[in-house]
Structure 1
Amino acid sequence: MSDAPETNGAAKPDAAAAAQPKITQRVIAQYIRDMSFENVLAQKGLQGNIQPEASVQVNLDARKRGADNQYEVITKIKVTSKAKESGDTIFLLELEYAGVFVIEGVPEEQMHPYLLIECPRITFPFVRRIVSDVTRDGGFMPINLENIDFLALYRNELARRAQEAQAGKPAQA
């Protein structure tokens, strides 16, 4: 007989995994920081058969707040609808939507990607609804935003910044 404890084939829990802090996240507030909707079609009275073409720009911002482990994450959406033929602007929607989060257990070196990937995923359904409601209430077909891949958006921003940094360096001989 052996003195070793029996495991029934189950893997022993990894001590390093057990030492990892548990990540907790709470949303304590969500709100519209700023919003603007301009119905250029109604203001200028564009004429003819107008076939709209919409473009969507997304930017993210995050900042630490005064309270412990509290962060504000802002999703900035700009929707521009233009007439296909003339290129005249039909409407413009700009929205800044913020979420205030309490986040614990995320290592400091992983906080930046966590804030700009995970937090916008939580607030995005609310942003989508606001964009849809405002464009519909403005007299247009509602703009139903597609899901946004915040991980790809984050990686693209890192690549863009690295490229800018590389371009800013003097050429080495």
Structure 2
Amino acid sequence: MSDTSTNSSGNGADTAQPQDAPQVKMNVLAQYIRDMSFENILAQKGTKGEAQPDVQVQVNLDAKKRQAENQYEVIMKLKVDSKTKSSGDQLFLMELEYAGIFHIENVPENQLHPFLLIECPRMLFPFVRRIVSDVSRDGGFPPLNLENIDFVQLYRAEIQRRQQAQAAQAGSPEQTGQA
């Protein structure tokens, strides 16, 4: 017999994880649309004909602690702007705020911020993708299937943007003090 069977059943020593490191627990308690708007500008203008769309997607994330212990609300704000490639005329505009309420335990404090803005949006994204597809189709356009979003890259870009803003702001008081 091998030691593998005793380790996998939990009777032997578990060498995969240290005993002192608690396992991260995350549960999605609720998810919902906070706000949504879809404007079919093409239909409002009465424009006809085929148009080659140029779609721009902006994503913003927000997270906040709730009053209940270990509960957080994560909000994904999406703005989808579709214009014609040839003339730049607006086809449609969609704004969506989709939120999830998460129960999170055993995440170290220094890792909580990236966890909330990377892992939680990953859980919400398939639902956001479905809503965008359904609403664009129901709005009279072909279904818009969003590509996967790299939430790690999005997080890093936001951290870098904040650091640059802080550096620029740190330079501003000296310039205004000399004037």
- TM-score, normalised via structure 2 length: 0.85
2:49 & 2:134 partners in 1: Cα distance? 26
Runs of 4+ in 1 over 2 A off after TM superposition: 46-50
Moved more, 28-37 or 162-171: 162-171
Question: Which structure 2 residues correspond to residues 19-168 of structure 1 after superposition, within 5 A?
Answer: 19-47=20-48, 49-168=50-169
What are structure 2's unaligned runs of at least 5 residues? 4-12, 175-179
What are structure 1's unaligned runs of at least 5 residues? 1-6
Q: Which has the higher helix share?
A: 2
Q: 2:113 is paired with a residue of what secondary structure? A: helix
The amino acid across from 2:119 in the alignment is: E
Q: 2:60 is paired with a residue of what secondary structure? A: strand
1:170 & 1:103 partners in 2: Cα distance? 38
Please give the per-residue CA displacement for 1:2-26, whole angstroms capped at 9, x wherever unaligned.
xxxxx9xxxx867x93211221000
Count of paired positions: 163
The Cα shift of 1:121 comes to 0.4
The Cα shift of 1:48 comes to 5.2
Identity level (%): 63
The amino acid across from 1:146 in the alignment is: E
- TM-score, normalised via structure 1 length: 0.87
RMSD: 2.2
